[in-house]
Structure 1
Amino acid sequence: MILLPAIDLIDGECVRLIQGDYNTARRVAEDAVETARSFREAGAQWLHVVDLNGAKAAKPVNAKLMMRILKETGLWLEVGGGIRDMETIRAYLENGISRVILGTAAVSHPELVVSAVKRYGERIAVGIDARDGMVAQNGWTETSSIDPLNLARRMERVGVKYLIFTDISRDGTLSGPNLSMLKQLQNGVSCRIIASGGISSLKDISDLAGLNLYGAICGKSIYAGTLDLKDAVTLCGQMEREGSTV
């Protein structure tokens, strides 16, 4: 299982939210590029970056900073937030971003997902963000009537290979991931599942790896000091060598 430390951006600053509420935004690091470098030094190879301004504005806002992080750290980046058209997808992927995340577009413009997957294949991921058991959209400000597993199966049918599942009620709370829903997704579709929301400790990392998930996104736990990224990377390596994970 790979670990993806997270950087969420508002107005160019690294912030964390609690349960997706923008009113809870709190700066957690002084400099996004230096923070990403520290993740690289701890052994991370991937970085999960979300443009929170973009998620609300429905267009990229912090794209220039994301490209700086890419160029100055050498990390593989998956990015999300405000990606609602093919031109934005093209701009990110053709300038070195490894993977883009479509969230709201998967619900409101599924034809974009189809077109993007046909053109870019495995470099397209879909974010499935759930609140009270239903998929949320538009920067988590709206809740739909769509079940996460049903959306996952729809995405699987159109060729999506990577799904990022976030339980919004747990995001930023350090209360542990939603193992039940993650297990349903892991068993219900062939896509590679990345867990997000609630991860707080090495035990959580072990539990997620035990589900044979592809990856886990760690945000607040790193900034709050409840999870040492270097130790988590080491644990994942050990479990992989022992055959406990894919």
Structure 2
Amino acid sequence: MLVIPAIDLIDGKCVRLYQGDFSKTMAVGGDPVDQLHQFVKSGAKMVHIVDLDGARNGAARQYELIRLLCNQSTVPIQVGGGIRTMETVEKLLEAGATRLVLGTSALEDEVFLDAALQKYSSHIVVGIDAKDEMVATRGWETITETHYIDFAKKMEEKGVETIVFTDISRDGTLTGPNLQQLEAIKNAVHVKIVASGGVKDNQDLEDLKAIGIEEAIVGKAIYDGKVTVMGDI
């Protein structure tokens, strides 16, 4: 299983949220570039970067910082947050991103999703963020009436090959991943499932591996020193 450290960005700074709440933002790490180098030096084989400014409003993108991080990195960069137009997709790929996580746009703009998959299928990942099993959008501030399993099945039908699943209630809490929901989504579709949210220690990673999860995005537990592995386990 691939362990992917996360760098969440607000206004150019590394932060972590608690359960997706923008009012509960905590600065972590140091300069984003320094943090990236530290992750790579520690063995990361991919780094996950989220533009939280973009996730919230879909407009305020931190392009230049993301471009700098991609240029500085010697490993693939996965980017998420506010990717809702083909122009944004193309700018981020041109900046050097390897994988792009579509969240709100995957649910709200089917025409855009289809176009992105048709032109850049190998680079497109869909993020499914859920609260009480219902899909959340717009920086997790809007809870829809779409069940996460139903949405995952629809994404599979469209040809999506990788889904990042986050149980918002676990994100940033260090209470462990939602193994039940992760196993349910893995059994419901035949795509790669990436776990995100709640990982508190190395044992959680072993538990994810045991249910067949191939990748896990880890944030707070790495910054707090509770997860000590990066790369393959």
* Gap regions ≥5 residues in structure 2: none
The equivalent residue for 2:111 is: 111
SS in 2 for 1:15: strand
Report deviation, 1:92.
Answer: 1.1
Query: For 1:7-26, what aligned pairs fall within 5 Å after superposition?
Result: 7-26=7-26
Alignment partners' CA distance in 2, 1:140 and 1:33: 26
Q: Which residue of 1 aligns with 2:215?
A: 215
Q: Does 1:148 align with 2:126?
A: no
Does 2:166 match 1:137? no
Pairing of 1:46-195 with structure 2 (within 5 A):
46-195=46-195
Q: Residue 60 of structure 1: CA displacement?
A: 4.6
Task: Summarize deviations over 1:154-209 as a string: whole Å, max 9, x none.
Answer: 00011111100000000000000011111111111111100001001111000111
Alpha-carbon RMSD across the aligned residues, in angstroms, is 1.1
Contact 2:66 2:95 in 1 (8 A): no
Q: 1:213 Cα shift?
A: 1.5
Change in 2 beyond 3 A, CA 1:217/1:134: same
Equivalent pair of 1:98/1:123 in contact (CA under 8 Å)? yes
Task: Provide structure 1 residue ranges, at least 5 long, that are not aligned to the other structure.
Answer: 237-246
TM-score, scaled relative to structure 1: 0.92
Query: 1:222 & 1:60 partners in 2: Cα distance?
Result: 27
The answer to whether the 8 Å contact 1:122/1:160 transfers is no
1:226 aligns with 226
Give the deviation of 1:95 after TM superposition.
3.1
Seq. identity, %:
42
Runs of 4+ in 1 over 2 A off after TM superposition: none
Paired residues of 1:122 and 1:162 also in contact (CA < 8 A): no
Secondary structure (helix, strand or coil) at the match of 1:97 reads coil
Superposed CA offset, 1:92-137 (max 9, x none): 1133210101000111112211111111112100000001110000
Distance 1:110 1:223 in 2: 36
Whole-angstrom CA distance in 2 between matches of 1:51 and 1:72: 17
Q: Give the distance between the partners of 1:12 and 1:167, measured in 2 at CA.
A: 25
Residue identity opposite 1:65 in structure 2 = L
Structure-2 residue corresponding to 1:241: none
Structure-2 separation of matches of 1:226 and 1:56: 29
Q: In 2, distance between residues paired with 1:145 and 1:79?
A: 26
1:66 Cα deviation from its structure 2 partner:
1.1
**Alignment partners' CA distance in 2, 1:19 and 1:184:** 21
Structure-1 separation of matches of 2:143 and 2:225: 31
Q: Is the 8 A contact 2:174 2:199 kept in 1?
A: yes
Q: Name the CA distance, whole Å, in 2 between partners of 1:201 and 1:85.
A: 36
Q: CA deviation at 1:225?
A: 1.5
Write the letter of the residue equivalent to 1:209: K
2:201 corresponding residue in structure 1? 201
Q: What is the SS of the residue equivalent to 1:209?
A: helix
More displaced, 69-78 or 215-224? 69-78
TM-score, normalization by structure 2: 0.97
Which structure would you say has the larger RCO, counting Cα contacts within 8 Å and 6 or more residues apart? Answer: 2
For residues 74 and 19 of structure 2, the distance between their equivalents in structure 1, rounded to whole angstroms, comes to 30
**Does structure 1 conserve the Cα–Cα contact (< 8 Å) formed by 2:202 and 2:229?**
no
